[in-house]
Amino acid sequence: MTDAGTLPALDDLDHRANQLLEELRDGFQTLPELLYWTHDFTTISLGTVPDSVLIGMESDPTLQKAMLDVLDDDDDDDRAAFARRLYEKHIFTRYYQSGYKVLKTSANQYVGAEDLSTEDADSPIGFRPALEEIQERQRRSLESLVDGFESLDALSDWRHDLVAATYGTVDRSLLRGLAREKPLIRMMAHPGMDDSATLTRKGAKLGRLRFGFVTLMPEFAKGIREMAGTSVEALPKEADKDFVASPNV
């Protein structure tokens, strides 16, 4: 996509962006796959993807249908592939470029503490390991969310882990809700924890996936921006108004 030159962090970002682009063009088989891809996209954008774009992955049925390449009809598959190409053009490339610019101005190029010279022993570890660490924390949080929680203690541990996964920026009202709101707690847990049996296992999982797109993705993006030192003023103002997934998908 972009010639990253010889800077390791930029080379890594460009390599990962190319991988994500291939996955986007191929489409996705399941909602969890799409959720994980959306998170990876958020990471390479350094959190610059607007909340509306992240939430749109779940709230826009036309876009979601185009992303989930599970259609049987060849014509529908062609339209879905075309819609994903539009997403690549108007959304993916734009916010990958935004992330690249942030990293270019913010990153030092140390791979890790072992690469620091003796003179730099007291210097902070480079930007790239910090990005990888927060990405891994967030990915583990998402995987746990998709699986659900076997007990209140497991849910409580996950709730506390969100603080580190968001670089301390998680909304306190979200943490309170995960501790106090019974419908939310029932959705997070497996049906065996739900005494009222109002949720099926499938319904609870779909609810958790929606929570991942609509609530966690913006929180994770905010944490990445905080870690990267991305100012609000540096963010793209909004998604491309000309982007429409496809009127015929």
Say what the pLDDT of residue 235 is: 54
Angle at 137 between CA 54 and CA 13, to 5 degrees: 65
pLDDT at 126: 44
Q: Which residue has the tokens 């930029």?
A: 10
The region that residue 107 occupies, defined by phi over 0 for left and psi between -120 and 50 for alpha, beta otherwise, is beta
Q: What is the pLDDT of residue 24?
A: 97
Question: Can you give the pLDDT at residue 122?
Answer: 39
Q: How far apart are alpha carbons 234 and 81 in whole angstroms?
A: 31
d(CA 82, CA 246): 8
Q: Which residues of the chain have pLDDT under 70?
A: 1-6, 70-75, 106-129, 190-199, 230-249
Rounded Cα gap, residues 117 and 24, in angstroms: 40
All residues at 6 or more sequence positions from 119 whose CB lies less than 8 Å from its CB, including other chains: none
pTM reported for the whole predicted model = 0.82
Q: Which amino acid is at 110?
A: Y
